[in-house]
Amino acid sequence: MAATELTQKFDQKTAIAIVVANMVGTGVFTSLGFQLLDIQSVSMILSLWVIGGIAALCGALTYAELGAQLPRSGGEYNFLGRLYHPSFGFVSGWVSITVGFAAPIALAAMTFGAYLGAVLPDINQTLAASLLVVLLGLMHCYSRTVSGKTQLIFTLLKVILILIFSVAALTFSDHEMSLPKLPVASDLGSLSSGAFAVALIYVNYAYTGWNAATYLIDEIDQPAKRLPSILMIGTLMVMAFYVLLNYVFLAVAPIEALQGKVEVGVIAAEYAFGSLGGQLMGLMLSLLLISTVSAMLMAGPRVLQVIGQDFSMFNRLAKTNDDGLPQIAILTVVALSVAFVLTSSFESVLVFSGFVLSLNTLFTVGGVFRLRAKGLLKKDTYQTWGYPITPLIFLGLTLWTLIYILIQRPEEALAGLLVIAVGFGFYWVSGRVKG
Mean pLDDT of 95-119: 81
CATH number at 170 reads 1.20.1740.10
Band of pLDDT at residue 434, cut at 50, 70 and 90: very low
> Per the domain annotation, does 143 fall within a domain?
yes
Q: What is the pLDDT of residues 210-225, one digit of tens each?
A: 888 888 888 887 887 8
Q: State residue 196's pLDDT score.
A: 78
Enumerate residues 6+ apart whose C-beta is below 8 A from 158.
20, 21, 24, 287, 288, 291
- The number of folded domains in the chain is 1
Closest CA to 302 of 419, 217, 422, 232: 217
Q: What is the pLDDT of residues 230-253, one digit of tens each?
A: 999 999 999 998 998 898 888 888
pLDDT beyond 80 at 173: no
Q: Residue 1: helix, strand or coil by DSSP?
A: coil
Please, what is the average pLDDT of the chain?
82
* Residue-wise burial string across 198-218, b where 16 or more C-beta atoms lie within 10 A, e elsewhere: bbbbbbbbbbbbbbbbbbbbb
**Cα separations in angstroms, 103 against 116, 288, 341, 350:** 20, 18, 8, 9
CA distance linking residue 249 with residue 266, whole number of Å:
10
Closest CA to 48 of 347, 56, 21, 255: 56
Which domain does 26 fall in, by range? 2-380+403-427
Enter the pTM of the model. Answer: 0.77
pLDDT beyond 80 at 383: yes
> Per the domain annotation, does 192 fall within a domain?
yes
CA distance linking residue 31 with residue 53, whole number of Å:
15
> Per the domain annotation, does 328 fall within a domain?
yes
- What letter represents residue 34's amino acid? F
Higher pLDDT, 227 or 21: 227
> Per the domain annotation, does 37 fall within a domain?
yes
The vertex-229 CA angle with 228 and 234, nearest 5°, equals 110
> Per the domain annotation, does 385 fall within a domain?
no
Closest CA to 57 of 228, 236, 197, 209: 236
Share of the chain above pLDDT 90, in %: 15
Enumerate residues 6+ apart whose C-beta is below 8 A from 67.
213, 214, 217, 223, 224, 227, 231
> Per the domain annotation, does 393 fall within a domain?
no
> Per the domain annotation, does 388 fall within a domain?
no
> Per the domain annotation, does 164 fall within a domain?
yes
Band of pLDDT at residue 131, cut at 50, 70 and 90: very high
